[in-house]
Chain A
Amino acid sequence: MFINFFFDLKQASLPVSLKEYLMLMEAMNKRVVDSFNVNDFYYLSRSALVKDERYLDKFDRVFGHSFKGLENSEGETEKEIPEEWLKLMGQKYLTDEEKKMVESLGGWDKLMETLKQRLEEQKKRHQGGSKWIGTGGTSPFGAYGYNPEGIRIGQKESRSKKAVKVWDKREFSNLDGDVELGTRNIKVALRRLRKFAREGVETELDLDNTIKSTAHKGYIDVKMMPERRNKIKVLLFFDVGGSMDAHVKICEELFSAARTEFKHMEYFYYHNCLYDAVWKDNKRRYNENIKTWDLLHKYPSDYKVIFVGDAEMSPYEITYPGGSVEFWNEESGETWLTRLLNIYENAIWLNPIPERYWDRISSASIIKQIFSDRMFPLTIEGIDQAMRELNK
């Protein structure tokens, strides 16, 4: 059973190794925990096998899957609403009249559909912290006149008091690599992009060199060297306005993370595609723009380039002169992008739209092609891969 669990973890692409598995076995052998207590085993295996909080949620899911039915617990996992249970509850609490009303609303399936949707909304709104504005708090069930005591879905309090399995609570779900980012997570991902070098003023004692030189010359000869610094230099381009409005939050987060992470970072805004000018302040974009040519001349080719945008536009906006929706561009967006890519060897495109939709958006495919496939989704995993790519 444990071997299967181990392979399940591997299959879910959790980075577990044999060494860790053996460590777990050793711990079981030495009776670190009471081996008949599933909770303890869960804690122990988690501590031995997972080494990064990003994987905790995945681990919880696999654990729940592998050891399903090991412990008596009512209902399904938290992730899905136990439909059967709801039906039973509904039948128990509803009068015949109400049942008819339910039927008139489109029957159970329809109702479940609505319910799920409601629940989804409720969750999202709650995470958005609407608490402060004072909305939220309407029970998804209230509208239908169910007995709220009996069901209570999506309410945190009742959930934690039920006999829910620990791993099914999925407390770490927001640390998962595939889900939305917070700045701290982004920073961790951006940290991949580091290159330390000694440059600049010599402020540190170079002991090895001093000793060598002293031995060589016969008197104390102090040698100095510059401090180690991250010498990565980054140009960030943000798409603003239009379809990007939906992604403002995530872009802000990326921006603030990048700003603390990279000492040498320059950022610019563009709309939809790169043309002959970019700007640094959205309020004054028409008065104070920066010519793309100036930019290409100013920043040397060792800068790494990161484009952030949904690449969602009409294909003409990329491929044809005059295609821009905002002004007459003498040269096509493609020309400008290729020009830039010819200078900066390390360039990537981060796209806030989930990867599976890219193929369906022709402009995204075109940009991906221009960037020779170096387009990554704006998730932790995506940034992670993107930074590896930039490091090459």
Chain B
Amino acid sequence: MKFEGTSSYIATEDLKVAVNAAITLERPIIVKGEPGTGKTMLAHEVAQSLGAEIITWHIKSTTKAQQGLYEYDAVTRLRDSQLGDEKVKDIKNYISKGKLWNAFESNKRPVLLIDEIDKADIEFPNDLLLELDKMEFFVYETGETIKAENRPIVIITSNNEKELPDAFLRRCFFHYIKFPDPDTMEEIVNVHYPEIKKDLIQEAFKIFYDIREVPGIKKKPSTSELIDWLKLLMTDDVDAKILREKDPKKLIPPLHGALLKNEQDVHLFERLAFISRRENENLE
């Protein structure tokens, strides 16, 4: 089992090494990086390339570790007992399986994506420590132990909103997806839009990386935003010439709404465009 990237996902060499290490050693891998660099995508692509089933567990601020294992519905059981329902005699009827349980039960090695683990409570990763290490847990209500038949490939993403506990980190591989350089970016774009015009890409890239370097910009546009923007440019059939436009009056790139998602950033950009226009005029 080896992950080599897919036709729709460009994996850098270091990412491949990290993922393969996690697969071989059957340990979780934590993926961090700027928003929009394809952290969540990775799990789907790994699953696709290995032909494995993907089980996703989206974490919210209210998610508890126990919910990933199983939940015991005491309230329904209580109600059923008052109504004299037959079901009430078997406690198993009131236990609903969580994502981890599903993953452990799977008879082919699945990919388990724990998405945005940092959204949950600070103690959340600690509560999953043993379960992810041993890949087993105990169901108190029925007294059975659920053990993974095939240890799932666990991919965990984090947006760095909370620090993860050391003990948890020690058990995982780690990869930080850095922002792609123009070459990698071109590959990524080609994967998404193979029919895109070469000159359009070039001009769009220039604008894109320039925007990312504007000092004081609040939200830097990311890969996914670039992809969206290119899509818009293509559907509107914007010519590369317009992007190359040196006319200072049109310094704001067309369809900029896809790149600048923040009112302040648009203002900042307009102001900079204004300044550079004035400078140009002075030069002339």
Contact = CB atoms under 8 A, between A and B. Distances in A.
Interface of A: 15, 17, 19-20, 23, 26-27, 30, 32-33, 39-40, 43-44, 46-48, 50-53, 56, 128-129, 131-134, 160, 171-172, 175, 184, 188, 191-192, 194, 207, 211, 214, 220, 228
Interface of B: 13-14, 17-18, 20-21, 24-25, 27, 29-30, 32, 74, 78, 121-122, 160-164, 166, 169-176, 178, 181, 210, 213-215, 272, 275-276, 279
A155 B30 CA distance: 34
Contacts of A23: 25, 27, 173
B34 to A, nearest CB: 9
B214 A47 contact: no
24 contacts: A17-B166, A19-B170, A20-B170, A27-B21, A32-B24, A33-B20, A39-B13, A40-B13, A43-B14, A47-B175, A51-B174, A53-B32, A129-B213, A132-B214, A132-B215, A133-B275, A133-B279, A134-B276, A160-B181, A184-B160, A191-B161, A192-B163, A194-B122, A211-B74
A155 B29 CA distance: 35
Given A184-B160, A188-B163, A44 B21 contact: yes
A382 B136 CA distance: 40
Contacts, number: 95
B78 A43 contact: no
Contacts of A44: 17-18, 21
A143 to B, nearest CB: 23
Contacts of B172: 51
Contacts of B161: 191
A227 to B, nearest CB: 9
Given A32-B20, A46-B14, 9 more contacts: A17-B166, A27-B25, A39-B13, A43-B18, A47-B173, A48-B174, A51-B170, A132-B276, A134-B276
Interface of chain A, main secondary structure: helix
A17 B29 CA distance: 17
A47 B276 contact: no
A191 B162 contact: yes
A84 B13 CA distance: 33
The 3 A-B pairs at the shortest CB distance, nearest first, are namely A47-B18, A51-B169, A43-B17
A53 B14 CA distance: 14
Contact of A30 (B24, B29, B74, B170): B24
Nearest to B178: A171
Contacts of B171: 19
Nearest to B173: A47
A27 B24 contact: yes
A34 to B, nearest CB: 10
